[in-house]
Every structure is written in structure tokens, then in C-alpha cells.
A and B are shown apart, each in its own frame.
Chain A
Amino acid sequence: AQTVTQSQPEMSVQEAETVTLSCTYDTSESDYYLFWYKQPPSRQMILVIRQEAYKQQNATENRFSVNFQKAAKSFSLKISDSQLGDAAMYFCAYTWGNNNDMRFGAGTRLTVKP
């Protein structure tokens, strides 16, 4: 079974500091893709970053980067120089092969303190 686990229901970070959100997944597939989505109170799910499993290099998008540990099946999100606008629910998500059945983790609520 393909499952995604986010073990931190809530996290908080001081503005301008760095925070890391954890995600682990369980899969027997060799061809899969991992995503982090952000859902602010406005409700829209916004793609933050994505990683193809076959790529060894960790994905980076401006202040957002991932630590992809394939052997450990770990896919953590690092947010640098946190901003108030980063406050949201963050979901780790997974799809595999030619499948668009996206599986989400339970989410981590991030609070940014001024």
C-alpha cells in the first residue's frame, strides 16, 4: 500500500528562521513522484515543490528545498527565511508510475511568529 506519513501535526517558526517539515512514505514502486503542497486559510492548494524519485539531486525552489532520502523513504521540506505568508497547512503527497491517484499525508500546520 502506498502511504504518506507526516508525524508533525503542528510546527511553529520565528519569522526569518528556518524550519523543516518531515514526511515519510511507504512504497514498493521504483517510479514515483513526491510533492509538497501548501494550503493557506484561503483554501486553495498550492504546489510548493516536487521531486522525481529517479533524480538524486534535491529539488529547490527559492526559499524552499527538500531533503530526499530515497533509501530511508524520507522527503522533508526545509523553509528558509520564513515569512508570515508561509503560515499554512502543508501536505506531503505522492503519485506513482502512470497513475494520477495522488495520496496525501495528514498535513502539518505551520505557524510563523513575528
Chain B
Amino acid sequence: DTEVTQTPKHLVMGMTNKKSLKCEQHMGHRAMYWYKQKAKKPPELMFVYSYEKLSINESVPSRFSPECPNSSLLNLHLHALQPEDSALYLCASSQEVGVGNQPQHFGDGTRLSIL
């Protein structure tokens, strides 16, 4: 069982659609992350939220818009995506930002396919 829950598990959308990916954790973690993982590649960091504030944006295109409504929830809003955005999107959380040895706990990911 994963302590970080991501929904949906699979998403197929057209390039003109607007959709959102959701991530939830109830471990009291104050840092949350979005990663993008292409097939047979390692995860690439997209965003980091610390205490509900965006602390790292790894030059991600504006068609990806993160949101952290509260300390347990992290959303990734998608709009006008491109076929190359098809990937596994992983959410993770850790106790704190600024403490490098904190392990990150990952969800099962959302498999996104752009038509």
C-alpha cells in the first residue's frame, strides 16, 4: 500500500483538453514534489512545494500548472499538452524541504497519454 495516493492512474487526453492530476498524502509531510518519467528513463523533477509554497520550478512549460491547496494535497493542472508530454507523472512527499537526507515517499503515478 502506498501512503501517497495519486488519481487518476491512467489519463488519455487530447491536446486541447484541460485536465488535472491529483496527489494526496496524510503523513504530515510538508514538502511535495512532481516528477515526470519517460519510459525506461529516471524521474525528472518538475516542481517542489514547501509548506504549500512553490520552492522549485525546473523550467517547466507553462502548460503545466501546479497547485498546493493545503498541506495534504498537490494538483497538477494540464492544458494544451503536446504528444511529447506523454509520460508517467509521479508525486512524492517528504517531511521537510531543506533537510537533504529526508527520503521521498512516492505514489504509484499517473500514466498520461496525449493524443
State the A residues within 8 Å of B (CB): 31-33, 35, 37, 42-47, 50, 52, 91, 95-102, 104-107
Contact = CB atoms under 8 A, between A and B. Distances in A.
B41 A42 contact: no
Interface of B is mostly: loop
Nearest to A96: B100
Most chain B Cβ neighbours within 10 Å, of A31, A44, A46: A44
B2 A44 contact: yes
Nearest to B102: A100
A37 B105 CA distance: 10
A43 B39 CA distance: 11
A52 B101 contact: yes
The 5 A-B pairs with the shortest beta carbon distances in the complex, nearest first, are A104-B42, A45-B106, A33-B101, A98-B98, A95-B100
30 contacts: A31-B100, A32-B100, A33-B100, A35-B103, A42-B108, A43-B88, A43-B90, A43-B108, A43-B111, A44-B109, A45-B43, A45-B90, A45-B92, A45-B106, A46-B106, A47-B103, A47-B104, A47-B105, A50-B103, A98-B99, A98-B100, A100-B31, A100-B56, A100-B94, A101-B56, A102-B45, A105-B42, A106-B41, A106-B42, A107-B40
Contacts of B56: 100-101
B34 interface: no
